Amino acid sequence: MSKALKFTDDSFEEDVLNADSDKPVLVDFWAEWCGPCKKMAPHFEEAGEEMDVNFGNVDMEEHQQLGGQMGVRALPTVLIFQDGEEIARKSGLMNKDQIKTWIESEA
């Protein structure tokens, strides 16, 4: 069972874009002030723990530049990366089952 990583401006390239893994990487862009983000957080964590993926979060308050570089316009936004490339993106509140179904359909 994995725990969510904390992706930062400094770690994003290594942990996501150059990840040394065959597993997809899920990245949740969120902020402390975002109600839907807080509500989705435990669902994101549970889905990540139950699936064969690497996963983590980017705090947009601390890493606004990274969100801008990735074109994040709404919170929460979850991106799926495979082999360093973004393969899917979804914005808005999702529960655990919705997250898992989405990952299975995209990755």
Catalytic residue among 16, 27, 37, 60: 37
Contact indicator for 57, 6 with CB cutoff of 8 Å = yes
Catalytic residue among 16, 25, 26, 34: 34
- Residue 9 corresponds to which tokens in the numbers above? 């401006």
SS3 14: helix
Q: Is 100 labeled as catalytic in the residue annotation?
A: no
Q: Is 35 labeled as catalytic in the residue annotation?
A: no
SS3 30: strand
- Residue 101 corresponds to which tokens in the numbers above? 């179904």
Instruction: Provide the annotated active-site residues.
Output: 34, 37
